[in-house]
């Protein structure tokens, strides 16, 4: 009975994408990083939802939206166990796990100022994935190693978006 109630907390959508088994506490970061937070479509989000598999998890359901390859990669970095379901007529028509690439290109910034990826030459950042969970990546140019919480993401789309509110950290 308890499971039933918990399941009901976020209802079905007719068409769109469900991102499930997000690491607890990462849904809002994923929405911001992927730019999905700018959508005018209905989004329902569960944060710290009880989960049989992982104790707690986050979940995002977004109507009428399907993810592109960049967004899938961004999610895989933040939540390597996430699963993506495509929904049509309230039914799952496709289900896939995100897959963290062996080399992450362009999505992450190397904060080492002397790294060649930060020079004036147009070299895209590139990181080798050493470990998936907990994440450990290494810049292929300067060999600096980063853990998940040290990562600074780049976001081309965000540059052009109107920043609605700034919060002074």
In the bound complex, what is the minimum distance in angstroms from residue 48's beta carbon to its own copies?
5
In the bound complex, what is the minimum distance in angstroms from residue 70's beta carbon to its own copies?
14
Please check whether residue 168 is in contact with residue 156, taking contact to mean a CB–CB distance below 8 angstroms.
no
Residue closer to its own copies by CB (options 49, 84) is 49
Residue closer to its own copies by CB (options 103, 111) is 111
Residue closer to its own copies by CB (options 96, 105) is 105
Q: How far apart are CA 137 and CA 117, in angstroms?
A: 15
In the bound complex, what is the minimum distance in angstroms from residue 146's beta carbon to its own copies?
12
CA neighbor of 124 nearest in space, from 145, 143, 112, 108: 108
Q: How far apart are CA 60 and CA 41, in angstroms?
A: 12
Q: How far is CA 169 from the centre of its chain?
A: 22
In the bound complex, what is the minimum distance in angstroms from residue 154's beta carbon to its own copies?
5
Residue closer to its own copies by CB (options 36, 84) is 36
User: At 22, which helix (H) or strand (E)?
Assistant: strand 16-23
In the bound complex, what is the minimum distance in angstroms from residue 3's beta carbon to its own copies?
13
Residue closer to its own copies by CB (options 72, 108) is 108
Chain residues in the site for its own copies (CB under 8 A):
5, 8-11, 25-26, 28-29, 31-33, 37, 39-50, 78, 109, 149, 151-155, 158-159, 162-169
> Which tokens is 117 given?
């990826």
> Which tokens is 99 given?
């897959």
Q: DSSP state, 151?
A: -
């Amino acid at each position: 009975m308890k499971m039933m109630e918990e399941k009901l907390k976020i209802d079905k959508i007719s068409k769109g994408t469900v991102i499930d088994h997000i690491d607890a506490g990462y849904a809002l970061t994923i929405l911001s990083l992927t730019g999905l937070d700018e959508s005018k479509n209905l989004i329902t989000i569960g944060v710290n939802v009880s989960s049989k598999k992982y104790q707690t998890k986050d979940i995002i359901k977004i109507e009428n939206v399907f993810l592109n390859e960049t967004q899938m990669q961004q999610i895989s970095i933040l939540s390597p166990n996430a699963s993506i379901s495509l929904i049509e007529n309230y039914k799952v028509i496709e289900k896939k796990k995100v897959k963290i690439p062996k080399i992450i290109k362009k999505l992450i910034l190397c904060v080492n100022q002397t790294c060649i990826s930060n020079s004036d030459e147009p070299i895209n950042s590139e990181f080798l994935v050493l470990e998936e969970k907990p994440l450990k990546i290494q810049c292929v140019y300067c060999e600096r190693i980063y853990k998940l919480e040290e990562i600074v993401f780049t976001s081309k789309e965000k540059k052009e978006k109107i920043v609605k509110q700034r919060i002074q950290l």
